[in-house]
Amino acid sequence: MSLLYGNSGLGTLLTLPIKRKIFVSYHHDSDQWYYNEFSRFFSNQYEVVQDNSLDRLIDSYDSDYVMRRIRENYITGTSCTIVLCGPQTRWRKYADWEIKATLDKQHGLIGVKLPNNSPEPISGGCHKPDRLQDNIDSGYAVWTTWETLTVDNLRSCIEIANGKPKGSIKNDRIMRSRNG
């Protein structure tokens, strides 16, 4: 958006930054506090989409219908999806479906490790949805931590995620049919 200022006929051109629209996926029962803090902290810079559980909003067992609703009502018009990865997010079917819908639209994808997500004993990594891990491994998704999130860091992650080559998307995994 551009505005023209000045009292001469020529004025000064001022370009205001675009307020990007982002979708945030998370496990509502375990990680609502983190979503609330994320939304509060970043609401001046980004339009954060959706803070209600899709379980309550889309009352259907038809996965094709639910996927269409996720794409049309939540993912379309956003620039990326941010997945807040707590200890239970990996097992939530809607988190998987939201990631799938994001990849179907070829939008940016960012995973954020939350502080309540302990390292796995064997690998030293942490729990995250398999479809997200596929895309971290392929180089498509961006991975960061809650502790490093700042306005500048998130802006950088979003720009990097949106600039990733679409050919590295991995989205062939079967959709999770139920919560784990």
Q: Could you give all domains of the chain from N- to C-terminal order, each with its CATH number?
A: 19-168 (3.40.50.10140)
Residue 60 has pLDDT above 50, yes or no: yes
Report residue 15: phi and psi, to 5°. Answer: -100, 120
H/E element, 144: strand 142-145
Distance CA 161, CA 98 (A): 16
HSE of 153 in the Cβ direction (CA atoms, 13 Å)? 12
Q: What is the pLDDT of residues 80-126, one digit of tens each?
A: 999 999 999 999 998 999 999 999 999 999 999 999 998 776 666 78
Strand partners, 3: 14
- Lowest mean pLDDT segment, chosen from 26-35, 57-66, 133-142: 57-66
**Cβ atoms < 10 Å from Cβ of 54:** 21
Taking the whole predicted model, whether its pTM rises above 0.85 is answered as no
Distance CA 176, CA 117 (A): 21
